[in-house]
Amino acid sequence: MKKLENKVAIITGASGGLGRATAIAYAKAGADVVICARRLEKLEEVAKICEEQGVNTLAVKCDVMQKEDLENLVEQTISKFGRVDILVNNAISTKQGVSIMDHTDEIWNNTVTSGFEAVWILMRLCYPHMKEKGGRIINVSSGAGLIGAPKFGVYAGVKAAVHGITMVAAREWGLDRITCNSIVPIFYSDLSNKLFDEYGENVVKDIVPLGYIGDAEEDIAPVMVFMASEDSRYITGQLIKVDGGGDIHF
Residues annotated catalytic, as ranges: 155
- The gap from C-alpha 179 to its chain's centroid, in whole angstroms, comes to 15
Q: How far apart are CA 86 and CA 83, in angstroms?
A: 10
User: Hey, CA dihedral for 176, 177, 181, 187, is it positive or negative?
Assistant: negative
- Sheet of 8-12: strands edge to edge? 57-61, 32-37, 8-12, 86-89, 135-140, 178-185, 239-242
User: Hey, CA dihedral for 100, 17, 112, 131, is it positive or negative?
Assistant: negative
Q: How far apart are CA 12 and CA 34, in angstroms?
A: 9
Residues recorded for the chain: 250
